[in-house]
């Protein structure tokens, strides 16, 4: 089972989510990328419900930005693997200013982030990871939203790939997809790197 957890105000329509889904089509792999609720507690409850019936060694979480924060919490709780794509480490620092109603990035649907969600986020904080071998960090030094050095420091001993440059969305994510899927235990059959 591969569970993709998208970022704040994002959706299953994000570029990274769609690329992963395309490359898993036709493979004997359960893959889910749900639309996460704005409430962190509800997002975690949804993720746990989707993972019911799977053993920890059958699960890999892929989390982008705030989804990486969720994936870290879930990986520590369940003992499964997690791939973290420019993960939020201390989202409370950035999300306070987003309290209120806005829209999702990939649609005009309203997105309401309530003040009580700040406390819900605080409850999910993981100060130190326990088994670094279960984690793969893909971080971009050019991330304009989050500091990659904070990400690197938060996952000591984990497999890490720091991209020189790029951006928060990892625009050239397809180039790194074989490495991501390999950590999930899946061989990518088509060469994706640009020539």
- Give the pLDDT of residue 188: 65
**Alpha carbons 57 and 127: distance in angstroms, whole number:** 23
From residue 24, alpha-carbon distances to 17, 65, 95, 182 in Å are 11, 21, 32, 12
Per residue in 107-122, pLDDT (tens digit) is 778 888 899 999 999 9
Per residue in 14-41, pLDDT (tens digit) is 999 999 999 999 899 999 999 999 999 9
- Give the pLDDT of residue 107: 75
Whether the per-residue pLDDT at 193 is higher than 90: the answer is no
- Give the pLDDT of residue 56: 98
| Position with higher pLDDT, 192 vs 46 | 46
Residue ranges of domains in the chain, CATH in brackets? 2-183 (3.40.50.1820)
Mean pLDDT score across all residues of the chain: 92
- Give the pLDDT of residue 111: 80
Per residue in 67-105, pLDDT (tens digit) is 999 999 999 999 999 999 999 999 887 777 778 887 777
Per residue in 98-109, pLDDT (tens digit) is 788 877 776 778
Q: Burial code of 43-75, b = ≥16 C-beta within 10 A, e = fewer? A: bbebbeebbeeeeeeebbbbbbbbbbbbbbbbb
């Amino acid at each position: 089972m591969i569970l993709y957890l998208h970022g704040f105000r994002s959706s299953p329509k994000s570029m990274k989510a769609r690329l992963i889904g395309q490359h898993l089509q036709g493979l004997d792999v359960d893959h889910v990328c749900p639309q996460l609720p704005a409430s962190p507690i509800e997002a975690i409850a949804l993720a746990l419900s989707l993972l019911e019936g799977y053993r920890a060694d059958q699960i890999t979480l892929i989390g982008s930005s705030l989804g990486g924060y969720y994936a870290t919490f879930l990986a520590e709780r369940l003992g499964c693997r997690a791939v973290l794509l420019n993960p939020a480490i201390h989202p409370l620092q950035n999300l306070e200013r987003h309290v209120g109603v806005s829209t999702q990035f990939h649609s005009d649907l309203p997105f309401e982030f309530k003040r009580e969600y700040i406390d819900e986020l605080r409850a999910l904080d993981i100060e130190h990871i326990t088994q670094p071998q279960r984690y793969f960090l893909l971080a971009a030094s050019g991330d304009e939203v989050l500091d990659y050095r904070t990400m690197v420091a938060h996952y000591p001993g984990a497999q890490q790939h720091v991209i020189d440059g790029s951006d928060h969305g990892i625009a050239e994510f397809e180039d790194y997809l074989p490495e991501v899927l390999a950590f999930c235990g899946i061989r990518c059959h088509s060469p994706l790197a640009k020539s």
